[in-house]
Amino acid sequence: MEHNKAPGLDGFSAEFYQCFWDVIKADLVQLFNQLHSEDLDIAR
């Protein structure tokens, strides 16, 4: 995958995640953990 190309509709490229991983890591891990445990209400 090219660094400056977004693979999906969110518009975030691989380069974005690589550059800002230290900033967004905790929030994304928490989000994925809540999704996995079915503890996240995505209907709102």
pLDDT in tens, 7-30: 667 778 888 888 999 999 999 999
Which two structure tokens, joined as six digits, stand for 44?
């709102």
Taking the C-alpha atoms of residue 19 and residue 9, their distance in angstroms, rounded to an integer, is 19
Whether 33 is in a domain gets the answer yes
Residue whose tokens read 């996240």: 40
Whether 24 is in a domain gets the answer yes
Domain residues for the domain of 28 are 11-43
**pLDDT at residue 35 tops 80:** yes
**pLDDT at residue 37 tops 90:** yes
Whether 27 is in a domain gets the answer yes
Which residue did the predictor score with more confidence, 32 or 9? 32
Whether 21 is in a domain gets the answer yes
Which band of pLDDT confidence, cut at 50, 70 and 90, is reported for residue 2?
A: low
Q: What is the pLDDT of residue 44?
A: 67
HSE (side-chain half, CA atoms, 13 Å) at 24: 10
pLDDT average, residue stretch 32-41:
89
Whether 38 is in a domain gets the answer yes
Query: How many domains, in total, are found in the chain?
Result: 1
- C-alpha torsion 37→39→43→44, nearest 10: -150
